[in-house]
A and B are shown apart, each in its own frame.
Chain A
Amino acid sequence: DIQMTQSPSSLSASVGDRVTITCRASQDISDFLAWYQQRPGKVPQLLIYAASTLQSGVPSRFSGSGSGTDFTLTISGLQPEDVATYYCLRSNSAPWTFGQGTKVEIK
C-alpha cells in the first residue's frame, strides 16, 4: 500500500504568519491529493482537491501545490479561525489513506 507521511505533526505560529504543511507519498500519486481542515469538535471540511484546486467558498489564503510524491498546503496569513487539524488524503488507488494530521495552533 502507498503510505502518506505528513509533517509536522503540530506547529504554533503567530497571526499573519505563513504556514506550510507537507505530505509525502511513498510512490507517485499524480495529483490525487486533497486537503481537509477539522476544527475542534467539528466535521472535516474540504479545502483543496486535485492537489491545487481551491474548493468553492474556501478563503484564498489557503493554497495547495505539488504533484507526484511531494505536496504542500500553505496558509498565507494565519488567522485565529484557522486553528484546526489539517489532513491530506491520497486517492489515486484503494486503499485510500489520510496523512497523520497536523495540529495548527496560534502562538
Chain B
Amino acid sequence: EVHLVESGGGLVQPGGSLKLSCAASGFTFSSYWMTWVRQAPGKGLEWLANIKHDGSAKFYVDSVKGRFTISRDNAKNSVYLQMNSLRAEDTAVYYCARLKYGSSRHTDDWGQGTLVTVSS
C-alpha cells in the first residue's frame, strides 16, 4: 500500500524559511515523479512543483519560482520542498503526491498534508 507522510510544517514569520519533507513507502520511489500541491484555508488546490524520478527535471508554478525548491533523495525515499522568503499568502496545507507520468499525467496517491502558517 502506498503511504506518503509529510512533515516539517508549522508557524514561521514572514520572510522566513521552512523545509517540508515527504516520506514515501509501499512503492518503488525511485521510479516515480513526485509533486507538491497546496491548499490555502477555504480555498482550492494549487499545483506547486514536479520532480522527475531521478531529480534531473523540475517544474514550478510562477508564484513560487525562485523561492521554493523541490528535491528528492531516492536513498531515503523522500521528497522535499525548501521554502524561502515566505509570505502570508503561502499559508496553506501542503500535500505531496505520487505522479503517474507517461501517456497520461496525474497524481494518484496523496499524503495527509502538513500545515504551514506564515504570520508574525
Question: Measuring CB to CB, which residues of chain A are less than 8 angstroms from any residue of chain B?
Answer: 1, 31-32, 34, 36, 38, 43-46, 49-50, 53, 55, 85, 87, 89, 91-92, 94-101
Decide yes or no whether B107 CB sits under 8 A from chain A.
yes
User: Could you tell me if A95 and B104 are in contact, using CB atoms closer than 8 angstroms?
Assistant: no
How many residue pairs bridge A and B at CB < 8 Å?
A: 63
Contacting chain A: which of B14-22, B40-48, B74-82, B83-91?
Answer: B40-48
Q: Which residue of the partner chain, among B61, B62, B110, contacts A44 with CB atoms under 8 Å?
A: B110
* Interfacial chain B residues near A94, Cβ < 8 Å: 50, 59-60
* Interfacial chain B residues near A89, Cβ < 8 Å: 45, 47, 106-107
User: Could you tell me if B104 and A101 are in contact, using CB atoms closer than 8 angstroms?
Assistant: no
Q: How far is the CA of A100 from the CA of B61 in the complex (A)?
A: 16
* Interfacial chain A residues near B113, Cβ < 8 Å: 43
Question: Measuring CB to CB, which residues of chain B are less than 8 angstroms from any residue of chain A?
Answer: 37, 44-47, 50, 59-62, 95, 100, 103-108, 110-113
A95 touching B60 in the complex, CB below 8 Å, given contacts A32-B104, A34-B106: yes
* Interfacial chain B residues near A45, Cβ < 8 Å: 110
Q: Which residue of the partner chain, among B37, B60, B104, contacts A31 with CB atoms under 8 Å?
A: B104
